[in-house]
Amino acid sequence: MKTEDYLAHNFRDLGGIEDIFTSNRRDFLKRVGGGIMIFVAIQDALFAQEGAPVRNRMRPPSDFNAFLRIGEDGRVTCLTGKIEMGQGIITSLPQMLAEELDTPLATVDIKLGDTDECPYDMGTWGSMSTRGFGPALRAAAAEAKGVLLSLAAEKLKVPQEQLVARDGIIFDSKNEKSRVTYGELAKGQKIEKHLETKPAVKDVAEFKISGQPHTRRDGEAKVTGKADYAADIRVPGMLYAKILRPPAHGAKLKSADTAPAKEIAGVQIVQDGDFIAVLHEFPDVAEDALEKIKPEWDKPEATFDDKTVFDHFQKIAPEPRVLKSGGDLDAGKNSAAKKFDATYLNSYVAHSPMETHAALCQIEGDHATVWVSTQNPFAAREKVAGVLGFPVEKVRVITPYVGGGFGGKTDNQQAAEAARLAKAVDKPVQVMWNREEEFFYDTFRPAAVVKINSGVDDAGKMAFWDYDVYFAGERGAQQFYTVPNHRTAARGGGFGAAREVHPFATGSWRAPGNNTNTFARESHIDVMAAGAGVDPVQFRLNNLKDHRMIRVLKAAADKFGWTSAKFPSKRGYGVACGIDAGTYVAGIAEVGVDADTGNVHVKRVVCAQDMGVVINPEGAQIQLEGCVTMGLGYALAEEVHFNGGEILDTNYDSYELPRFSWVPKIESVFITNNETPPQGGGEPAIILMGALVANGIYDATGARLFQLPMTPDRIKAALQKV
């Protein structure tokens, strides 16, 4: 995600935040007690050196946003405002800490997403946790080790250079019996260090803990049902709320008779204009009561739907904003032996995490505690404070385990609703959306159009490339092939666009923009390869100079056992490449197509990834598998049906998620690249899935699909054109 996207999404400039942090920090230090503490401000130069974006338009965090403590018991605690939603930082961040500190992984604790205890964080998204936060955390750990070594030198009366740290113990390399534990060193200390210069961190070659596969640290909690999610929190006297929802975005309430709901024992009703909620000590009774309310609504007229949205986009598209250009397009067109012109479409896609949005708000006097299913607890805190009219420091947001986010849990509407209701009834209130509400309020991945005009010369080299993306956003739009004459432009922004563009909210969806852009680009590269009569792997290699991309593509082809043939070869082989979150990725798929039904079966996906240094190979592999599996959904089936502001999908009867029988054999290659710091792993492979499948279908049948998802009907229609 680009810096501007971060800022556009859920970020407001927070005046006066420094005071909040200063006062909070005093309380914070009082609470944590003694030991050795290291503070890091990620936004400083140290972070920038790692090549990650510096969000200099953002003022917070002005004080510190990573915190590390070595306690008197020798335990190391990392506190961070990031959250765990399945991506595995609950394992990978402690691994990094343990590595850098030379302490056993088992002695490292991590506390996530609690706004009272953890320093500020903007949000968990964009594959930034390992990439952006990791380097700062490692630096903090290295600094802590420096402090420990100097304390040990004093205590053991040995020159610091002579000391060695291992497994949470520092000893004299010349006399191993002379030793002291981290806990002993931390005892009675109150050392506070602010990281200002970047301490030397270990070289990858020295890694013992990082780089080793580790299974999830939250595994046991998750297999026993003990892992609490926001809707699992119970406090005495709490009520469950169900809220009356409009039938379409933009609908206005004309009337509602709440009397029949009131007849149910124990029901409490809150009505404030259009906002009507039914509360009860049991959520199912509240839901039954809500159904007894028969509202009348004024629905705005729908002006477009899921079929006409693409025409709508082209009608309203603003002037193109050129992202990159070079050479001379007209000269390119003249030199091209063959030209290719195509339009690619994709539909709106839902996040649809298995855990719907949930929040519980408890107000005690002038203070509120809110348990929220969120990717950005600090934004949730602000939102709740606004609703309650409390200063932010009087609101504590606790983020329990989050049951999937994928970019969709950033608006915190449900937290605002719980707060509003808790205030109204003076009792703790839990709001948990049902699946229909989840579809209705989801911030969908935007539908989009991509138009590409390109050409190749007689030698099979790309002569020109003219690319316009409408409303998907620019992430992944810039191509990496060597083409002398080119222009890449975006028309309209990505997610979060105004209501005239989309009739409902849109938001970031796992690798926002890049799924659309990579589908279009890599499909079109295949169209060109076919037109030039060149094998699609060879065509790409012929037009690439970027050595990282060449390396991943060759690695994927080797692992797959790619052999050249005249395409379409009927083998069902599809290839695609891309770059996301700093990671290079190339894949090859084998697909089967049933011409009678239009059903596609993806049999095998090989994916090669260069993500720099790999911290947890097990975690990286899991994220890759997740990307491939989740990506099959948007490639083959996922599509939001709507008519204006009315969302026609209300549950999984009409909106399909990938199932067990869809999952291919997934093979991976992780390129050893210790020259590049760790890059994103949670998103890259998903960007390939549209083009991998489309190109595989072409190779199997000769039919070219230009629209996602590639449903059986669309495939049958394409087959008729062959």
Task: By CB under 8 A, name the one of 216, 383, 427, 704 that touches another protein.
Answer: 216
CB 253 within 8 A of CB 299: no
Task: By CB under 8 A, name the one of 28, 39, 240, 706 that touches another protein.
Answer: 240
Question: Tokens 């970027």 appear where?
Answer: 546
Binding segment (CB under 8 A) for another protein, from list 126-134, 474-482, 540-548, 652-660: 652-660
Quickly count helices (H) and strands (E) in the chain.
21, 29
Task: By CB under 8 A, name the one of 123, 283, 377, 492 that touches another protein.
Answer: 283
Cα–Cα distance between 422 and 416 in angstroms, integer? 10
Type and span of the H or E element at 318: none
Task: By CB under 8 A, name the one of 661, 675, 713, 720 that touches another protein.
Answer: 661
Minimum distance from CB of 211 to another protein (Å)? 17
The DSSP 8-state label assigned to residue 160 in this structure reads G
Minimum distance from CB of 434 to another protein (Å)? 6
HEC readout, 638-688: CCCCEECCEECCCCCCCCCCCCHHHCCEEEEEECCCCCCCCCCCCCHHHHH
Using CB under 8 A as the binding criterion, the count of chain residues that bind another protein stands at 58
Pick between residue 415 and residue 632 the one whose CB is nearest to another protein.
632
Pick between residue 313 and residue 406 the one whose CB is nearest to another protein.
406
289-302 per-residue burial string, b: 16 or more CB within 10 A, e: under 16: bbebbebebebeee
Q: CA separation (Å) from 656 to 117, 225, 346, 639? A: 39, 26, 16, 8
Binding segment (CB under 8 A) for another protein, from list 147-155, 557-565, 649-657, 697-705: 649-657
Pick between residue 229 and residue 471 the one whose CB is nearest to another protein.
229
Minimum distance from CB of 299 to another protein (Å)? 25
Count of beta carbons in the 10 Å neighbourhood of residue 73: 13
CB 581 within 8 A of CB 685: no
Question: Binding to another protein (CB under 8 A): which residues in 340-369?
Answer: 352-356
Q: Does 403 bind another protein (CB under 8 A)?
A: yes
Type and span of the H or E element at 53: none
Q: Does 215 bind another protein (CB under 8 A)?
A: yes
Task: By CB under 8 A, name the one of 57, 155, 222, 307 that touches another protein.
Answer: 222
Cα–Cα distance between 111 and 132 in angstroms, integer? 18
Pick between residue 279 and residue 622 the one whose CB is nearest to another protein.
622
Q: Does 692 bind another protein (CB under 8 A)?
A: no
Question: Binding to another protein (CB under 8 A): which residues in 624-643?
Answer: 625-630
Minimum distance from CB of 240 to another protein (Å)? 7
User: Residue 538: left (phi > 0), alpha (psi -120 to 50), or beta?
Assistant: alpha
Cα–Cα distance between 475 and 126 in angstroms, integer? 11
Kindly report the length of the chain. 722
Task: By CB under 8 A, name the one of 460, 658, 677, 709 that touches another protein.
Answer: 658
Question: Binding to another protein (CB under 8 A): which residues in 66-125?
Answer: 85-88
Cα–Cα distance between 710 and 639 in angstroms, integer? 10
Q: Does 622 bind another protein (CB under 8 A)?
A: yes
Question: Binding to another protein (CB under 8 A): which residues in 242-281?
Answer: 281
Q: CA separation (Å) from 502 to 352, 516, 643? A: 19, 17, 11
Q: Does 688 bind another protein (CB under 8 A)?
A: no
Minimum distance from CB of 531 to another protein (Å)? 34
CB 573 within 8 A of CB 590: yes
Q: What angle do CA 269, 270, 276 make, to 5 degrees?
A: 95
Binding segment (CB under 8 A) for another protein, from list 99-107, 178-186, 621-629, 639-647: 621-629
Where on the chain is the footprint of another protein (CB under 8 A)? Answer: 85-88, 215-216, 218-229, 231-232, 234, 240, 281-285, 352-356, 401-404, 406, 432, 434-435, 618, 622, 625-630, 651-653, 657-661, 663, 666
